Amino acid sequence: MKTYFLGRLPLILACCFGFLSFSGLGQEGWTPLFNGKDLQGWERLNGDAEYLVRNGEIVGITKVNTPNSFLCTKARYADFILELEVWGDAALNSGIQFRSLSTPAFQNGRVHGYQAEIDPSPRAFSGGVYDEAKRGWIYPLTNHPEANRAYRVGYWNQYRIEAIGPSIRIWLNGVNTANLADHQIPSGFIALQVHSIGDQTSMAGREIRWRNIRIKTTNLESERWKMAPYTPEENYLPIH
């Protein structure tokens, strides 16, 4: 087994700490968002990419000539901790929407809101925060080498998103990738993105998969993970 070093801490150890929350430990107060059998409780918005269930996983499949597609929870969430696993085609950008909305008043229902990035490209922005359809990048990973190394192309990757009040924090495979203070959208749905591929027929039929999707909405302060010293805060709150 190879060991990739994260500063002075081996990445494999950092990942192990993150994996604890996906084991049989710490189940109290968690609610599954996906039953492993069908898409009950979810709805597709924005685009026409296909979503299906296979082998206990949600599978999103790219389609030509359709905008970004989102499989969205019908329920909305304000403060929560969300955990899930994702596997994506090495050429396919994607994201996990949270506190997101689709309203007639905004671009005829276009999905918008916070997105935890899934980026297998050499740019390596996975775990950063993008404001879909509005401000764009609000927590890029340009100067965050620890986060740039966190995503593992060709493997299942584990995301943890803590959204508590204006505090938004993300971990990817146990690596603390984002620490953001922002209050633009206090609540909304969670969604799984299949990115638009335009008219690129060579990109049609590619897959991204999600599994082990769960959320916690109570006793959140006691569950918060400690921020890493290598992850700076970006603060968008107004100064009084």
Residues 145-198: tens digit of each pLDDT: 999 999 999 999 999 999 999 999 999 999 999 999 999 999 999 999 999 999
Domain membership flag for residue 171: yes
What integer pLDDT is reported at residue 231 of this predicted model? 97
Domain membership flag for residue 230: no
Could you list the beta-strand ranges (E) of 119-222: 129-132, 136-139, 157-164, 167-172, 175-181, 189-194, 207-216
Domain membership flag for residue 233: no
Spatial CA neighbour of 187 closest among 210, 164, 169: 164
Domain membership flag for residue 228: no
d(CA 49, CA 60): 7
Number of domains in the chain: 1
Domain membership flag for residue 91: yes
The model's pTM is: 0.89
Domain carrying residue 204: 5-219
Domain membership flag for residue 114: yes
Domain membership flag for residue 225: no
Tens digit of each residue's pLDDT (9 = 90 or more) over 4-32 = 333 333 344 444 444 444 444 457 899 99
Domain of residue 155, CATH code = 2.60.120.560
Domain membership flag for residue 224: no
